[in-house]
Amino acid sequence: MLRKAGRFADGDGEVRDAFGRRINYLRISVTDRCNLRCYYCMPEGDVPLIQREDWLTFEEITEVARAAAGLGFDKIRLTGGEPLLRSNLVGLVAMLGRVRGLRDLSMTTNGLLLDKYALPLAEAGLHRVNISLDSVDPEVYREKTRGGDFKRAVKGIRAAQAAGFRRIKLNCVVEWSSEEPDAREVASFAERVGLEVRFIRRMNLAAGEFWVVDGGAGGDCARCNRLRLSCEGLVRPCLFSDVGFNVRELGARAALVQAIEAKPESGEQCVTSTFSQIGG
Among 239, 252, 259, 270, binds ligand SF4 (CB under 6 A): 239
How near is the Cβ of 242 to ligand SF4 at its closest, in Å?
12
Nearer to ligand SF4, 148 or 244 (CB): 244
Among 11, 219, 233, 280, binds ligand SF4 (CB under 6 A): 219
Per-residue H/E/C for the chain: CCEEECCCCCCCCEEECCCCCECCEEEEECCCCCCCCCCCCCCCCCCCCCCHHHCCCHHHHHHHHHHHHHCCCCEEEEECCCHHHCCCHHHHHHHHHCCCCCCEEEEEECCCCHHHHHHHHHHHCCCEEEEECCCCCHHHHHHHCCCCCHHHHHHHHHHHHHHCCCEEEEEEEECCCCCCHHHHHHHHHHHHHCCEEEEEECCECCCCECCCCECCCCCCHHHCCEEEECCCCEEECCCCCCCCEEHHHHCHHHHHHHHHHCCCCCCCCCCCCCHHHHCC
Nearer to ligand SF4, 47 or 221 (CB): 221
With CB under 6 A as the contact rule, which of the stretches 75-83, 101-109, 115-123, 232-240 interacts with ligand SF4?
232-240
Among 240, 245, 270, 276, binds ligand SF4 (CB under 6 A): 240
How near is the Cβ of 243 to ligand SF4 at its closest, in Å?
11
Among 62, 161, 246, 266, binds ligand SF4 (CB under 6 A): 266
Report if residue 221 touches ligand SF4, rule: CB under 6 A.
Answer: yes
How near is the Cβ of 78 to ligand SF4 at its closest, in Å?
17
Report if residue 269 touches ligand SF4, rule: CB under 6 A.
Answer: no
Among 78, 203, 238, 255, binds ligand SF4 (CB under 6 A): 238
The binding site for ligand SF4 (CB under 6 A) comprises 210, 219-221, 224, 226, 238-240, 266-267
